[in-house]
């Protein structure tokens, strides 16, 4: 019931503070940061903490480091990694803004369409049964969090049945934001609509009807973006 509590490190606090300043717009894209020495003095932490934190933020795509010109705020929407989405969620209390929700749903539509095109022609009876079992499992989930995990696993399982070895990795990369969207979907709309959609999808897959399966996904995503099952706050 109760989990062990751990305090964040100084590096984590430093990164969290700078991310907040960037995401709030207080630090604008292209703006130069003070030197590491000055940041350390202002925030009363060691230069090694500042150095490690800046390196971490550069890896995520928040900052650009130039040996001679210093460190500037990067155009993280264009050049950031998927870690940016997790940071945006943390900044917004675990939620995603409307624009990011729409963008993720559109990307999911592209990935699911490719997964269906690749997996359906080669799918076996055993694999179809695995998908059916997974679909039944999330319809019996006790809460939105459990349902979100099981729904994500369904999509990831389907991607694994394709002949593209990188596709499951792409699904895995979007795991955190995708699960948040599924959690919100179940909280707002319940599981029954989703179960009906999956029954339709499984029927299309069983008949090896790629166009039918893609249409089910496209219609579902369109409804989630701007229809009766939309999930915006």
CATH number of the domain within which 108 lies: 1.20.120.530
pLDDT score recorded for residue 35: 93
Structure tokens that stand for 231 in this block: 């999930």
* Contact predicate 185/147, CB 8 Å: no
Structure tokens that stand for 193 in this block: 């609509």
pLDDT score recorded for residue 96: 76
| CATH code, 61 | 1.10.10.10
Q: Are residues 56 and 164 in the same domain?
A: no
**Domain carrying residue 183:** 96-226
pLDDT score recorded for residue 225: 87
For residues 215 and 158, what is the distance between their CA atoms, to the nearest angstrom? 16
For residues 80 and 75, what is the distance between their CA atoms, to the nearest angstrom? 7
pLDDT score recorded for residue 120: 97
Among 83, 110, 126, give the residue marking a domain's end.
83
Domains in the chain, number: 2
Q: Give per-residue pLDDT as tens, 184-224.
A: 888 888 888 888 899 999 999 999 999 999 999 999 999 98
Residues of the chain with pLDDT under 70: 1-5, 94, 232-233
Q: Are residues 114 and 211 in the same domain?
A: yes
* Concatenated DSSP letters of the chain: -PPPP-PPPHHHHHHHHHHHHHHHTSS-TTPBPPPHHHHHHHHT--HHHHHHHHHHHHHHTSEEEETTTEEEE--HHHH--THHHHHHHHHTTT---HHHHHHHHHHHHHHHHHHHHHHGGG--HHHHHHHHHHHHHHHT-SSHHHHHHHHHHHHHHHHHTSS-TTHHHHHHHTHHHHHHHHHHHHHHH-SHHHHHHHHHHHHHHHTT-HHHHHHHHHHHHHHHHHSTT----
pLDDT score recorded for residue 193: 86
pLDDT score recorded for residue 218: 96
Q: Are residues 51 and 107 in the same domain?
A: no
Q: Are residues 68 and 100 in the same domain?
A: no
pLDDT score recorded for residue 233: 57
Q: Give the percent of the chain with pLDDT over 90.
A: 62
pLDDT score recorded for residue 2: 56
């Amino acid at each position: 019931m109760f989990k062990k509590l751990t305090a964040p490190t100084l590096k984590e606090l430093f990164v969290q503070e700078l991310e907040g300043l960037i995401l709030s717009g207080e630090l604008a894209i292209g703006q130069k940061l003070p030197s590491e020495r000055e940041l350390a003095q202002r925030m009363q932490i060691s230069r090694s903490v500042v150095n490690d934190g800046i390196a971490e933020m550069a890896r995520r795509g928040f900052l650009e480091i130039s040996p001679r010109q210093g460190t500037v705020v990067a155009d993280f929407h264009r050049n950031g990694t998927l870690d940016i989405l997790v940071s945006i969620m943390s900044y917004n209390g675990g939620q995603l803004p409307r624009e990011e929700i729409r963008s993720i749903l559109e990307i999911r539509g592209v990935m699911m369409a490719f997964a269906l095109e690749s997996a359906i022609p080669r799918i076996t009876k055993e694999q179809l049964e695995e998908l059916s079992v997974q679909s039944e499992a999330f319809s019996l989930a006790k809460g939105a969090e459990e349902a979100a995990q099981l729904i994500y696993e369904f999509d990831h399982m389907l991607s694994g049945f394709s002949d593209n070895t990188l596709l499951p990795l792409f699904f895995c990369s979007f795991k955190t934001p995708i699960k948040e969207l599924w959690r919100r979907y179940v909280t707002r709309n319940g599981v029954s609509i989703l179960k009906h959609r999956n029954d339709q999808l499984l029927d299309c897959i069983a008949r090896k009807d790629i166009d039918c399966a893609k249409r089910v996904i496209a219609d579902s995503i369109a409804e989630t973006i701007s229809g009766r099952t939309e999930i915006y706050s």
